[in-house]
Amino acid sequence: MESGLPLAERDGSAPRQRDNAVYAALDLGTNNCRLLVARPQGDSFRVIDAFSRIVRLGERLATTGELGMSAMDRTVDALRICAGKLQRRGVTLYRGVATEACRRARNGGAFAARIAAETGLTLEIIGTREEADLALAGCAPLLDPSIPGAILFDIGGGSTEVTWLKRAAARWEMVDSISLAFGVVVLTERLGRDRVAPGAYAALVGEVAQALAAFEAAQDIGAQLLAGQVQMLGTSGTVTTLSGIRQQLPRYERALVDGSSLELAEIRAVCTELCGLDWRGRAAQPCIGTERADLVLAGCAILEGILKVWPVPRLRVADRGLREGILLGLMRGGR
């Protein structure tokens, strides 16, 4: 599996390259385990291997406060596959990070130690600020430099990261960020896995909007949005799924989704359509499938909550994020 991705950085500098270097980035989230293995190629990098598996590490975390044994076992199985890929590809520089589930769980640190013992992979449990910074590094090439303000969000399994950016001196600067305790795994346990009552869905949309109220009041993003000075970029399975559905793709294709745009009316129409379906109906959608059929409505509610606060005319869709940001850091000779 090979694909190219521009290596544009926030400061416009080129990545430092090392002869014969093979880079790997691993992102362990609340829902997914994702790996990219790449080589530098001019001003871009070429992905030579990748892996993604839904592991639902944060299953029942909100109830118990700990990572469950079954969830940890599933995750270790996936990470063994990742370790094998790193070995076969001769990876020379690697970084792996763990996010919300391991941050929140009482046994998150112990689980990271188990991963190292059983797979040989080290994983850093990173904070919300660094998570937002890595997402920005990975997604910055999709931002329009002619629009001075940008909202970047990442709807995860255990939390949602929202970042407010301003363009200054030919680079994007993070002004402020917020981590919301709303993620698709956690909220699916509240909404249920089959049909969702319209009232429960609407209430959740309102909760997300309310959680953003103080952030909006502090930054006054809405006024700048009305003046046409704000763009929005989303990176998550929710937005990529909605883009695939809107394009009526017979199967998910990253090349057609990454960098695409969704009009506000299109987002609301697709979310309304999905809310009217049961689990089987959602699973029949080729860009959803059985693994995500129960999760997608929670993601839609979070997205609609964000758009209730900031009703941008259109949303840019990114099928990239932390892993790409990690790779950029490694290729610059840093972290």
* Span 210-239, average pLDDT: 96
| Position 207 pLDDT exceeds 60 | yes
Lowest mean pLDDT segment, chosen from 2-6, 72-76, 129-133, 137-141 = 2-6
CATH code at 288? 3.30.420.150
pTM: 0.86
pLDDT at position 44 is 65
Least confident among 39-43, 293-297, 306-310: 39-43
- In tens, the pLDDT along 136-166 reads 989 999 999 999 999 999 999 889 999 999 9
What amino acid is encoded at 109 in this protein?
A: G
243 assigned to some structural domain: yes
How much is the pLDDT for 43? 62
- What 3 state SS string does 67-125 have? CCHHHHHHHHHHHHHHHHHHHHCCCCEEEEEECHHHHHCCCHHHHHHHHHHHHCCCCEE
**What mean pLDDT is predicted for residues 218-228?**
96
Residue 12 confidence (pLDDT) above 70: no
Residue 115 pLDDT level (bands cut at 50, 70, 90): very high
232 inside domain: yes
DSSP for residue 285 = S
pLDDT the model gives residue 333: 76
Number of domain units in the chain: 2
In terms of domains, do 183 and 283 share one?
Answer: yes
How far is 104 from 125, CA to CA, in rounded Å?
A: 10
pLDDT value for 170:
84
Identify the residue with better confidence: 17 or 215.
215
Is residue 23 domain-resident?
Answer: yes
pLDDT at 193: 83
Question: Residue 137: inside a domain, yes or no?
Answer: no
Whether residues 158 and 283 share a domain: the answer is yes
| Cα first-last separation, the chain | 25
Among 36, 43, 11, which Cα is nearest to 322's? 36
Task: Say if residue 241 is in the same domain as residue 104.
Answer: no
Q: β-strand 93-98 against 124-125: which pairing, if any?
A: parallel
Neighbouring residues of 75: CB distance < 8 A, sequence distance ≥ 6: 28, 33, 55, 57, 111, 115
Among 45-49, 146-150, 228-232, 268-272, which is the least confidently predicted range? 45-49
DSSP SS3 for 29: coil
Q: Would you say residue 180 has pLDDT above 60?
A: yes
Query: Based on the domain organization, do 118 and 226 belong to the same domain?
Result: no
Residues 186 and 75 in one domain: no
CA distance linking residue 267 with residue 290, whole number of Å: 21
Both tokens assigned to 72: 């940890």
Q: Rounded to whole angstroms, how far apart are CA atoms 72 and 78?
A: 10
Q: Under a CB-based contact definition with an 8 Å cutoff, are residues 61 and 21 in contact?
A: no
Q: Please report, for the domain that includes residue 69, its CATH number.
A: 3.30.420.40
Residue 53 class from Cβ within 10 Å (0-12 exposed, 13-18 middle, 19+ buried)? middle
Residues 33 and 178 in one domain: no
Average pLDDT in the 62-69 region? 94
Question: 47 — phi, psi (to 5°)?
Answer: -75, 120
Predicted confidence band at 19 (pLDDT cuts at 50, 70, 90)? low
Helix axes 296-309, 237-246, angle to 10 degrees: 90
Q: Which residues contact 240 (CB under 8 A, 6 or more apart)?
A: 252, 257, 258, 317, 318, 319
Average of per-residue pLDDT values in the chain: 91
Counting Cβ atoms within 10 Å, is residue 71 exposed (0-12), middle (13-18) or buried (19+)?
buried
Give domain status of residue 135, yes or no: no
Domain check: are 185 and 200 in the same one?
Answer: yes
User: Residue 244 above 90 pLDDT?
Assistant: yes
pLDDT attached to residue 1: 40
Looking at the structure, tell me whether residues 202 and 247 fall in a common domain: yes
- Tokens 């699916």 belong to 188
Residues 165-183 have a mean pLDDT of 92
Residue 18: inside a domain: yes
Segments forming the whole domain that contains residue 247: 142-318
Tell me, yes or no, whether 136 lies in a domain.
no
Residue 50 falls inside a structural domain: yes
Q: Examine the domain organization and report whether 168 and 102 are in the same domain.
A: no
* 22 and 78, same domain (yes or no): yes
Separate counts of helices (H) and strands (E) for the chain: 16, 12
The whole-number average pLDDT for the span 16-42 is: 86
pLDDT for 334: 60
Burial of 20 (0-12, 13-18, 19+ CB in 10 A): exposed
Question: Is the alpha carbon torsion for 235, 238, 240, 246 positive or negative?
Answer: negative
pLDDT in tens, 253-304: 999 999 999 999 999 999 999 999 999 999 999 999 998 999 999 999 999 9
Residue 29 to residue 257: CA distance in whole angstroms: 21
- Between 157 and 125, whose confidence is greater? 125
Question: pLDDT value at position 2?
Answer: 41
Are 49 and 147 part of one and the same domain?
Answer: no
Is pLDDT above 50 for 11?
no
Q: Are 255 and 189 in the same domain?
A: yes
